[in-house]
Structure 1
Amino acid sequence: MNFWLRNIVLGLFLTALAWAFFANQDFLLSLDGSLGKVDKSAITSTTTVVDTIPQTSKSKKDEYQQGRASTNAAAIGLSKFYANLHGDMDGKGPKIRNNIVYLPQPKGDLTKLLQAREMIVRPYKKNWQGSVESRPFRRGETLNQKLAEYSEQDGVDLIWWLNRDYVVKDPFRIEKNILKTALQVAKAVEGHFESGLSIFFCYRQRAIVIIESAPQPFLDEECILLSGIKTY
């Protein structure tokens, strides 16, 4: 009796379970599909995170290139500013008489120019003197023109803060370092200036300044006066 009762109850339970499965078949299948979608979404999300890493690296590289471009633009702009310091006289160019080129008075604030240059160049050591080479000055060239060219080759900017330049009449050569070369050239024309000339090497600004002798607080403090260097 108990045996048959137990089997009847088990049969009813299995019958009810089968009926419940078929009655909720759509719900169970939709639940299985939802689980599959969640897994796929997780994989896609992981892939997206991995893909963003190279984009971050590229962004840093772009910032670096932009920084270099900005620095180069500042340097080029300052060089052009130096080149246009004297400009043309009355729009017709400087006057030349007896191998003397008459230039307008230098314009601008020399101290600010040097401070601006200090921000875009790496300083030289205080005892830097440059390379020793045989530097020719040929007939028809000007002292400022050639000295600026040779200074640039040694990574130094020449600031010719004078209202006169000189055309080379008889060619000559100077075989010394760039500082002694600049000093010798300046001393050769010093007699044309009533107060004489002062030649400074500004190692922090990587510049050679040739200027009429007068009190120069910034140059005296920041730069080295080259008048004590022997040129022979």
Structure 2
Amino acid sequence: MATRKKNTAKRKKSQQRAVITLVVLTIVLLVVAFIASQRMYLNESSDNRRAQIASGGAYDNLQGEISRFFGGVREAAWGRGDDKDRVIDLNEDLPPLAPQLEEIIRFTDTPLDASFRGEIKTRWFMDEDTLKTSSEQFAEEENLQVLWRLSHDYRVSAAFQVHSDLVNTMDRLARSLNSEHPEHIQAFLCPRARVILISGADEAQSVARYCHSMEELQEIERQRAAEEAEQRLQRRGLN
């Protein structure tokens, strides 16, 4: 009888210890979960603060939102109010385009493939820089050069950014200036010269065998993909 009571008492103590252990583990898990959630919140808040600081608290990553990108360019091009200093008359006597480009080609050892687009990243057009100098800097970072065949340059009055590859960034920039120019402004990739040409479409016709618009580059890609697909089918047929 005494032994049975002792066993019962032991079982009760074991059950009590198990309950206490379960309660303690539950509390520990809740505390760990709370601490983890607080750290995540603090990290996210810190990241957000850093992003706001990096962007001046006023500039959002455009991530391809072309309309907002155009808005930034337009503000750079026309400034705020009557600030005419934002528009820079280049007053340059530009040489004929075709001979200029052919001269560059002669001294270019490593031409690009027509599929080249450049690194995809965020590029900033900073306050007080100009669109032309910023474009030239972006191109130089990837061992290309820009031929800016426009009569005006534009000083940036409010910094803006675009997240894209180099060629698409330059094309968006060029097209956004169309309402300020009578000719149809576009960016053209000239692979043999390692050049991005920013020019009116009419002038670009003189170098059409060297330079391609974005639409033409996309068509070249489609044709190449179709040819590769056809070659794969032919190889399968032979096998």
Q: Which amino acid aligns with 1:220?
A: A
Shift of 1:217: 3.6
Say which SS state the counterpart of residue 149 (structure 1) adopts: helix
Query: Runs in 1 of length 4+ with deviation above 4 angstroms?
Result: 227-230
Q: TM-score, normalised by structure 1?
A: 0.54
Match of 1:170 in 2: 158
Residues 137-146 or 187-196, more deviating = 187-196
Shift of 1:213: 2.8
Match of 1:161 in 2: 149
Say which SS state the counterpart of residue 104 (structure 2) adopts: helix
Alignment of 1:2-21 (within 5 A): none
Match of 1:141 in 2: 129
- Greater relative contact order (CA < 8 Å, ≥ 6 in sequence): 2
Say which SS state the counterpart of residue 162 (structure 1) adopts: coil
Shift of 1:108: 1.0
Match of 2:188 in 1: 200
Shift of 1:182: 0.4
- In the alignment, the residues of structure 2 paired with residue 123 and residue 205 of structure 1 have an alpha-carbon distance, to the nearest angstrom, of 6
Q: Percent same amino acid among aligned pairs?
A: 19
Shift of 1:219: 2.2
Shift of 1:105: 4.3
Residues 194-203 or 135-144, more deviating = 194-203
Contact 2:144 2:195 (8 Å CA) reproduced? yes
- In the alignment, the residues of structure 2 paired with residue 229 and residue 183 of structure 1 have an alpha-carbon distance, to the nearest angstrom, of 12
Of 201, 209, 218, which aligns to 1:221? 209
Match of 2:106 in 1: 119
- In the alignment, the residues of structure 2 paired with residue 150 and residue 209 of structure 1 have an alpha-carbon distance, to the nearest angstrom, of 13
Task: Provide closer, same or farther for how the CA distance between residues 167 and 188 of structure 1 changes in structure 2, counting only shifts above 3 A.
Answer: same
- In the alignment, the residues of structure 1 paired with residue 98 and residue 155 of structure 2 have an alpha-carbon distance, to the nearest angstrom, of 28
Match of 1:150 in 2: 138
Unaligned runs of 5+ residues in structure 2 are 1-82, 219-239
Match of 1:99 in 2: 86
Q: TM-score, normalised by structure 2?
A: 0.53
Contact 2:204 2:211 (8 Å CA) reproduced? no
Match of 2:173 in 1: 185
Shift of 1:149: 0.3
Contact 1:105 1:162 (8 Å CA) reproduced? no
CA displacement, residues 174-199 of structure 1 (integer Å, 9 cap, x when unaligned): 11111011011112222100122132
Contact 1:180 1:229 (8 Å CA) reproduced? no
Q: Which amino acid aligns with 1:191?
A: S
Task: Provide closer, same or farther for how the CA distance between residues 227 and 100 of structure 1 changes in structure 2, counting only shifts above 3 A.
Answer: farther
Larger Rg: 1
Say which SS state the counterpart of residue 146 (structure 2) adopts: strand
Unaligned runs of 5+ residues in structure 1 are 1-95
- In the alignment, the residues of structure 2 paired with residue 167 and residue 183 of structure 1 have an alpha-carbon distance, to the nearest angstrom, of 18
Q: Which amino acid aligns with 1:134?
A: T
- In the alignment, the residues of structure 1 paired with residue 211 and residue 151 of structure 2 have an alpha-carbon distance, to the nearest angstrom, of 22
- In the alignment, the residues of structure 2 paired with residue 227 and residue 141 of structure 1 have an alpha-carbon distance, to the nearest angstrom, of 29
